Amino acid sequence: MRRALGHRRGITEKKMMGALCFMTRGTMCCGVTSAALMVRVGADGFERALSKPHVRPLRIGRRAARGFVLVDPRGYRTAAALATWVEQGLTTAKMLRRQTTKPAAARRRHPVG
C-alpha cells in the first residue's frame, strides 16, 4: 500500500477503525486491516463495488458502513488491481473534500443588520 501511494503528495497515515488508514489531505481514502484492503467508494459507488469479486461491505458493529468496502487479498493480488482500488479511494476522497469545502468568502461571518 505504501508503494502504491508513495509518489502522491499529501498522504498521511493514521491508525483508526482497527486499521492503518491512509489520508489524502485529511480525508481517508483507504486502509489496511489484518485481513483486507479497506477502500472508500462513497455512497454512490457502494453497490457497484460490492458487485466485484472478493469485495464485501465494511461492518461497524452489526451494520454496513455505506461508502466503504473491504477487498479480500485475492481482489487486489496484482499491482494493477491494487492501483485500481487505490485510485477509487483517492477519487472518492477528493470528491468528498470538494463537496464539504466551502470557499473562504462563504465561511466568513458577516454582521447581520
Q: What is the pLDDT of residues 54-85, one digit of tens each?
A: 999 998 888 888 899 999 999 999 999 999 99
Domains, the chain, in order of start with CATH, read 2-96 (3.90.1150.30)
Cα distance between residue 77 and residue 85, in whole Å = 11
Query: Model-level pTM greater than 0.75?
Result: yes
Regions of the chain with pLDDT less than 50 = 105, 113
Tell me the C-alpha to C-alpha distance, in Å, between residue 37 and each of 1, 20, 30, 96.
9, 10, 7, 20
